[in-house]
Homo-oligomer: A and B are copies of this chain.
Amino acid sequence: MQMIQILITGGTFDKSYNHLKGNLFFKKTHVPEMLTRSKSRLNVNVKTLMMIDSLEMTENDIEIIIKECLNSESKRIVITHGTDTMVRTAKKIEKKIKDKTIVLTGAMIPYAFGSSSDGFFNLGSALSFVQVLKKGVYIAMNGQYFKCDNVKKNMEKGFFE
């Protein structure tokens, strides 16, 4: 079975609650425990590139993501990413990489929020789409996939369209 590369960048998806300060922060990614829980038998490699809010993602951060996608031996890559700038990052990746299937996903509610989070569903969705979509850069959110040049986040309603 082909290996799927999973690259972690942070975003709402992976936010935790800091009970000393009473705010949200990044501790470590929940993706490995999510994979265990999913009983996934996929051949994956998980690599954390950064743990940041996507509103704070710089050009340099995007360069790091693109470089990792290029260097990965895998042709199929899932990237977890904050939703606010997910489309921007996807478009920048698409300009540089043409021969891989790359799917960005995230969450509207942190996985750590338990029974209200969409994150676990989205991970299942992104890992499925990445196996079957042809080369290109996509966003998998709200049960759907979108070509990165044909989507935007509706900031008022909180979904992609």
Q: Which residues of A contact B (CB under 8 A)?
A: 12, 17, 19-20, 22-24, 34, 37-42, 53, 84, 108-110, 112-118, 120-129, 131-133, 140-145, 155-161
Contact = CB atoms under 8 A, between A and B. Distances in A.
Contact of A124 (B19, B128, B132): B128
Nearest to A133: B132
A12 B22 contact: yes
A121 B17 contact: no
So how many copies of this chain end up in the complex? 4
Contacts of A126: 128
7 residue pairs, one from A and one from B, having the closest CB atoms = A114-B114, A124-B124, A40-B143, A121-B124, A128-B128, A124-B125, A38-B121
23 contacts: A12-B22, A20-B156, A20-B158, A22-B84, A24-B24, A37-B117, A38-B122, A38-B143, A39-B108, A40-B142, A40-B144, A41-B143, A41-B160, A42-B144, A112-B113, A114-B116, A115-B115, A124-B124, A125-B125, A125-B127, A128-B129, A128-B143, A129-B132
